Structure 1
Amino acid sequence: MMFVETIADNVTDWMPRLLVGLRSTFALTAGGFCLAFVLALLIEYLRSRRNPALRLIARLYIACARGVPVLVILYLLYFALPVAGITLSALSAGTIGLAAVYGAYLAEVFRAGLSAIPTGQREAALASGMTPFQTFRLVLLPQAVRHTIAPLLINLVSLLKDSSICALIAVPELTLVSREIMSESFMPLSVFALTALLYFVLAWPASLVARALEQRLHRPAAQRDRGRSKRPAVEVTAVG
């Protein structure tokens, strides 16, 4: 009861500052996901080409991005790049770092979506005179996105939660603001419980939407399969 009373007594003082941090969290999440989406499309396009060098570049990037911790990439962008004469703001470094990592994960999501498309569609598009890029953009990509909406939303939720790592490079997002409030109030349990609640309120509805979309997209296929299984067998009789 004391715990709830402490939050109730201080929420009017803490919430405005937490909402400012939440704005930076939104900026990190939206910017990082949009960049990751574009990067994933580029990676998957390179991997879909028949040029071995382009496919090797895409595979190496995915291996490196998935094999290096997010925090190390953030440190490289924020602390190491200035040595080479390139200085990024904390928000820019955080956005690019998250995009670099999640671009590799989204590329794997697109790969799964593209593999669900019959290969005959690509061959038919190329045979009709389309270039490989037109085939990828106009024929394959729209269908792949439809198959990958739910996994994309799941990765968006993961990126939202991983944006808290950017507090370690001084991005004024929700976690860093919570640490500042905690150091002033000396009430870490109350402060971070409220912070966890804010993250949960953001992430849980998106997870529910992803699950509902996944069930809705899979339902037509299941209904078609059920309808085929209920069709009566037709007996064919030879004539003559």
Structure 2
Amino acid sequence: MFSFYQTIAENWSDWWPRLSHAAWITIYVTALSFVVAFAIGLALEFMRTRSSVAIRLTAQIYILTLRGVPILVVLYLLYFALPGYGVIISALTAGVIGLGAVHGAFLAEVFRAGLRSVSPGQREAAQAVGLSPFQTFSLILFPQAIKIVLPPLLVGFISLLKDSAICALIAVPELMLAARAIMAETFLPMHVFVLVGVFYFGIAFPASLLVRALEKRLTRGSTNKSSLETGDILPVARLDGVGR
């Protein structure tokens, strides 16, 4: 065991700069992909609440399709297939779009569960005071649902972080690609990949603590259940100038 750590210590000066740079790229790809997935998931759930059958069907087809297709297939389509049609994007861009597109379909289900948990009286009260569907969604339903969906959103973020390793297969210079390069040079796969696992944990664990702290902050002093069930949204509605 001592020799295991000794080998890592001997190569640390070479491995650390390469892996730390790759780790920042992993964080960058994960953060951008999560923003894309968040926006797509929220848009899809908003589409599923529309009265238009075509809009609802479009959102449902997207969700069912992207949830059933491996991420690697989507990445290959973006990076290798699109150039055949004259559309050329970088590996990094393909990775962000591909991860965001697939995980957006999963986050849509997370938002669906959160929004469905909000009392139906909230939507009815919003309509009664004249709020538009978008205002109802953004001002009334979403602020309440976000407190509920924070834990599963964290799970989605960590899952996306781990899935970002697939981007190495389209030459995104993230942690796994750097690890494979070092392994090919040193023939020390155990040492390299254990160290990479530590890097991934070092990214995921602080993110977990941050979201938990945010969750406590959002729930501190929040409206109790009984007030939510009564449909008390008028103060929020007045912020938009409605109902005055």
Q: Name the structure 1 match of 2:190.
A: 189
Larger Rg: 1
Opposite residue 92 of structure 1, the aligned amino acid is T
Structure 1 residues 37, 175: closer, same or farther in 2, change over 3 A? Answer: same
Measured in 2, the distance between the counterparts of 1:137 and 1:93 equals 30
Matched, 1:130 2:131: yes
Opposite residue 84 of structure 1, the aligned amino acid is Y
Q: Name the structure 2 match of 1:21.
A: 22
Superposition deviation, residue 53 in structure 1: 1.2
Q: What runs of 5+ residues in structure 2 fail to find an aligned partner? A: 227-244
SS at match of 1:129: coil
Q: Name the structure 2 match of 1:45.
A: 46
Superposition deviation, residue 2 in structure 1: 1.2
Matched, 1:77 2:78: yes
Superposition deviation, residue 218 in structure 1: 8.6
Superposition deviation, residue 146 in structure 1: 1.4
Q: Name the structure 2 match of 1:234.
A: none
Measured in 1, the distance between the counterparts of 2:225 and 2:142 equals 24
Q: What runs of 5+ residues in structure 1 fail to find an aligned partner? A: 226-240
Q: Name the structure 1 match of 2:3.
A: 2
Superposition deviation, residue 206 in structure 1: 3.0
Superposition deviation, residue 127 in structure 1: 1.6
Superposition deviation, residue 192 in structure 1: 1.0
Matched, 1:173 2:135: no
Measured in 2, the distance between the counterparts of 1:151 and 1:220 equals 22
**1:60-139 map, 5 Å:** 60-139=61-140
Superposition deviation, residue 72 in structure 1: 0.4
TM-score by length of 1: 0.87
Q: Name the structure 2 match of 1:141.
A: 142
Runs of 4+ in 1 over 2 A off after TM superposition: 204-221
Opposite residue 106 of structure 1, the aligned amino acid is L
Q: Name the structure 1 match of 2:236.
A: none
1:193-228 residue CA offsets vs partner (Å, 9 max, x unmatched):
11111111212343455567778989999x989xxx
Measured in 2, the distance between the counterparts of 1:25 and 1:138 equals 33
TM-score by length of 2: 0.85
Structure 1 residues 198, 59: closer, same or farther in 2, change over 3 A? Answer: same
Opposite residue 32 of structure 1, the aligned amino acid is S
Q: Name the structure 1 match of 2:57.
A: 56
**Does the 8 A contact of 1:151 with 1:210 survive in 2?**
no
Opposite residue 127 of structure 2, the aligned amino acid is L
